[in-house]
C-alpha cells in the first residue's frame, strides 16, 4: 500500500473517538463544542430562490460577501467584498492555509495550547510547530519575540477571542503588541475568530488583523456558533496578495460552498433580528456558564484552578496535581461521562499534562451537577492511584 | 513571500477565466458543464427537521449512506453503508485522494484526455502523470499494460461512463479488461462517475470497481448532474482498507458535508419520483444533443470529426486541421461565443492540439445555431491565418 508520506502523520483523532463514545444517550458529555439544541434558531426556507440549485461562484454569493465585508469593516478590518471568500465551515480555511503555506518541515507559530483540529491539519501537511505560551491577557510577548528572532515561521495562527481551548481573550494592548511584532518580522497572521460574537460581559477588542500595517493576513469566522453549524458556512477575508491563491485552492477543494447555507446566512448577517438573536444567545450561554461554574466550585475547587470564561463555549481546568488526563478517559466513559483531555491541544502533548477542556454549552442542566461530580470522582481516584 | 512548494504548480485556471467571461448575458457559452436551468427540479424544504441545523457526522447522514449503498449494490458494487462517505461534491473526493496518495513525484495513471479539474488537483500535489490514450470503446489496453509494466502508479483515475471531456463510454469488455489489469498489477482504482445516470440510449455497463477482485478502490458519484449542483452533495464508496484514512482526511478538510443538501438528496435517492425525473431528464438532454448535432453537421462537417455522445453533457470535436485551440479563445469571445479548448484536458497540453469540448446541456436552443455558426467562422478564420 503506497500512501503519501503525509499519511504517516494522519493520527487517529482522539476527539472523534470520544465524540463517538459520547453518542450513547446516557453519556453526559463535556467533550464537544456543540451549540445548545434549544438555541438553534428556527429558520425559513420558503423564500429561497430556485436558481440557487445551479452551480455558484467559488468566491461565494456576491450579496453575502458584501454583508460579511460590511460586518468586518465595522470591526475595524479595512477590506472590501473582493477580499471575502465563503468557505465550507471555517475548518476549510485551515485546509486552504495548510495547502498555501506548509511543506514538510515548514515552521509555523502557534499558541500553546491551540485548537486541536488546526494542529491536526497543519501537522498532516508536515508543519514544524513553534509555540508561544498563552497567559491570561494573551501570548507571552517576550517568548513570542524570542521565537520570531530565532525562527522564520510561514505564519502565526492565533485565536485571540475566547480561545479554544483556554477561553483566553487577548487584551487590546496584547493585540496591538502582537500586530507590531508580526509587522516587524514580516510574518503572515491567520486569525481564527469562531467565538467573537459569544461575549458574556459585553467586552470586545479589535481583530489583530485590523492593527497590521504591512504583514499579510487571513481572518476567518463562521456562522456555526451563532446560527446553525449544519449549514457548513464560514468565511475568510484575506489581504489582496493572498486572495487569488486561496481562491484557486478553494476551487480545487470543492468548487464552491453549498448555496442553501449561504442563502440562509444572508437572511441573518447584518440584520436586526440577528443582533437580537445574539443578545438572547449570549444571555442564555452566560446562564449556562454560571451554572457550570457553580458545579465546578462544588466538586472541583480542591482539584483544579480555572479562569471564568468571558465568552466562548469552554472551561479550561488546570489540575493542582498534574497527571496525563488521557489516562482518565476510560474511567470517565465507564461512568458515562465524556470530556476532552488537554494534551492533544498541545504540539507537544507529553510535555503538557494536567488540563481538561470542558464544554458548558451543550450539557443538559438537569444532569450537569451529576456529570461534574462523577468527573471529579474519576480525578480523585486517579490521584489515589498515583499516590499508591 | 514564503508559500509552499506546491503553490508553484497552482496554475491560473483557464476554465475559471472562460466561465467568468461567459457570465456576460450576451455570451453564447458552450464552455461549462451546467445543467439546464429548466430541468432543475422543484424541491421542498418544509419538512426538513430542525435538528439538521446541529453538527453532523463526518461520514454523512446514516440514512443517506444506506440509500447510496443500496443504489451501488444494484449496480453490482459489493459494499455496505459503512463504506459510503458523503462528500461536499465529488470534486472533494479528488482532493481527499490527492492527500491520501500524492507526494511530489508520485506516479499516477490517467486517461488522455481526462477531467481538467482532476488534473489540476493531482498536479498541485505534485503528481507525475502517466497517460493512456482513449479510444472509442475505452483506453488503449496495449498501452495500458505497457504503462503498468514500466511504472508503479499509486492509482489509476478513470471516468468510464460518458467521460469528461471525450464522452467515451467504456464497453463492458473494456471494463473487464481494465479491472483484470489493475488486479494483476495491484493498482488502486479511482472511478469517477458523475454522468452514469445521463444515458440517452438506455445502455449501461457495470462500474469497473465491481469487477475488481483484489485491488483497492474508490468509487465516486454526485447528485450535481441529476438534481441540484448548488446542494454540493457527492459521495464516495471505498474499499474497507482505504475508508478510515479517507474519513480522517474528510474530517480535517471540512468536518462534514452540509446537512441540508444531504437531507434533500435523501428525499430523491432510490425513490420512484427520482427514477421518473431521470427519465424526463435523459429525454430532455437527448433532444438537446440531437439539436446540437444538427447544428454541428451544418457548420462543422468540413472542419471537425466527432462521435455522437450517448450520454453526459459534452461533444468532443477533433479538428481536421489541428491548431492550438487556446489561440481561438479571444476571437471567439469577441464574437460572444465561449467554448473549452481541448489542450488543458491533457497532462501534456502542447502535444495535444486540435480538440474542442462543447457543452450541449445549457445553451439556449434559440441561440444554438448562431453560436455554433460563429464558432465555426472563428475556426475558419484561424485556418486562413495559418495558411497565410
Assembly ipTM? 0.96
A window 53-112, beta carbon within 8 A of B: 53-56, 58, 88-89, 91-92, 94-95, 99-103, 106
**Is the CB of residue A234 less than 8 Å away from at least one CB of chain B?**
no
Side-chain half-sphere exposure of B136, counting CA atoms within 13 A: 5
CATH class in words for B5-40+274-387: alpha beta
The answer to whether A178 and A139 have CB atoms below 8 angstroms apart is: yes
Euclidean distance between CA atoms A335 and A317, whole angstroms:
20
Query: Fold identical between B5-40+274-387 and B55-271?
Result: no
Are the CB atoms for A36 and A239 separated by under 8 Å? no
pTM summary value? 0.97
Q: Which of A12, A252, A259 to mutate to test the interface with B (most CBs of B within 10 A)?
A: A252
CA–CA dist A163, B184 (Å, integer): 52
* CATH architecture assigned to B55-271: 3-Layer(aba) Sandwich (3.40)
Please compute, for residue A17, the number of CA atoms within 13 A of its CA located in the half-sphere on the CB side. 11
Q: Is B374 on the interface with A (CB under 8 A)?
A: no
- The residues spanned by each domain of chain A are 5-40+274-387, 55-271
CA B252/CA B82 separation, integer angstroms: 19
Interface test with B, best of A6, A8, A53 (most B CBs within 10 A): A53
Yes or no, beta carbons of A230 and B56 under 8 Å apart: yes
Compare all CA atoms of chain A with the CA of B98 and give the residue at the minimum distance.
A4
Does B252 contact A at CB distance below 8 Å? yes
Considering only CA atoms, which of B357, B333, B380 is closest in space to residue B28? B333
Q: DSSP secondary-structure letter at B88?
A: S
Nearest to B230 among A13, A55, A94 (CB): A55
- Interface check for B47 against chain A (CB to CB < 8 A): the answer is no
Q: Tell which residue, A247, A251, A197, A189, has the closest CA to residue A216.
A: A189
pLDDT tens for chain B, 388 residues long, are 589 999 999 876 677 778 778 878 899 999 989 999 999 999 999 999 999 999 999 999 999 999 999 999 999 999 999 999 999 999 999 999 999 999 999 999 999 999 999 999 999 999 999 999 999 999 999 999 999 999 999 999 999 999 999 999 999 999 999 999 999 999 999 999 999 999 999 877 999 999 999 999 999 999 999 999 999 999 999 999 999 999 999 999 999 999 999 999 999 999 999 999 999 999 999 999 999 999 999 999 999 999 999 999 999 999 999 999 999 999 999 999 999 999 999 999 999 999 999 999 999 999 999 999 999 999 999 999 888 7
Within an 8 Å CB–CB cutoff, is residue A174 touching chain B?
no
Amino acid at each position: 500500500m503506497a500512501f503519501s508520506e503525509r499519511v504517516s502523520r494522519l493520527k487517529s483523532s482522539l476527539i472523534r473517538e470520544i465524540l463517538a463514545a459520547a453518542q450513547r444517550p446516557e453519556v453526559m458529555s463535556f467533550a464537544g463544542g456543540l451549540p445548545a439544541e434549544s438555541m438553534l434558531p428556527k429558520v425559513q426556507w420558503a423564500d429561497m430562490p430556485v436558481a440557487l440549485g445551479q452551480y455558484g461562484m467559488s468566491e461565494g454569493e456576491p450579496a453575502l460577501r458584501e454583508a460579511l465585508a460590511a460586518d468586518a469593516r465595522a470591526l475595524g478590518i479595512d477590506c472590501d467584498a473582493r477580499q471575502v471568500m465563503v468557505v465550507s465551515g471555517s475548518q476549510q480555511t485551515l485546509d486552504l492555509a495548510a495547502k498555501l503555506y506548509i511543506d514538510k518541515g515548514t515552521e509555523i507559530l502557534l499558541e500553546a495550547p491551540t485548537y486541536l483540529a488546526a494542529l491536526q491539519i497543519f501537522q498532516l501537511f508536515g508543519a514544524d510547530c513553534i509555540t508561544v505560551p498563552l497567559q491570561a491577557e494573551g501570548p507571552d510577548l517576550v517568548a513570542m519575540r524570542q521565537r520570531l528572532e530565532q525562527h522564520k515561521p510561514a505564519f502565526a495562527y492565533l485565536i485571540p477571542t475566547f480561545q479554544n481551548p483556554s477561553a483566553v481573550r487577548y487584551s487590546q494592548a496584547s493585540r496591538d503588541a502582537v500586530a507590531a511584532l508580526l509587522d516587524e518580522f514580516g510574518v503572515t497572521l491567520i486569525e481564527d475568530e469562531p467565538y467573537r460574537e459569544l461575549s458574556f460581559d459585553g467586552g470586545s477588542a479589535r481583530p489583530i488583523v485590523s492593527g497590521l500595517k504591512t504583514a499579510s493576513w487571513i481572518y476567518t469566522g463562521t456562522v456555526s456558533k451563532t446560527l446553525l453549524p449544519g449549514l457548513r458556512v464560514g468565511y475568510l477575508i484575506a489581504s489582496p496578495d493572498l486572495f487569488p491563491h486561496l481562491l484557486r485552492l478553494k476551487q480545487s477543494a470543492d468548487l464552491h460552498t453549498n448555496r442553501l447555507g449561504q442563502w440562509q446566512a444572508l437572511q441573518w448577517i447584518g440584520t436586526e433580528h440577528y443582533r437580537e438573536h445574539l443578545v438572547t444567545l449570549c444571555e442564555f450561554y452566560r446562564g449556562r456558564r454560571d451554572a457550570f461554574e457553580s458545579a465546578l466550585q462544588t466538586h472541583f475547587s480542591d482539584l483544579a484552578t480555572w479562569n471564568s470564561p468571558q465568552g466562548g463555549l469552554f472551561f479550561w481546568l488546570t489540575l493542582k496535581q498534574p497527571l496525563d488526563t488521557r489516562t482518565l478517559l476510560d474511567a470517565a466513559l465507564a461512568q458515562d461521562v465524556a470530556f476532552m483531555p488537554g494534551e492533544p491541544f498541545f504540539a507537544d502533548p507529553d510535555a503538557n499534562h494536567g488540563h481538561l477542556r470542558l464544554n458548558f454549552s451543550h450539557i443538559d442542566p438537569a444532569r450537569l451537577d451529576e456529570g461534574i461530580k462523577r468527573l471529579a470522582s474519576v480525578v480523585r481516584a486517579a490521584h489515589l492511584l498515583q499516590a499508591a
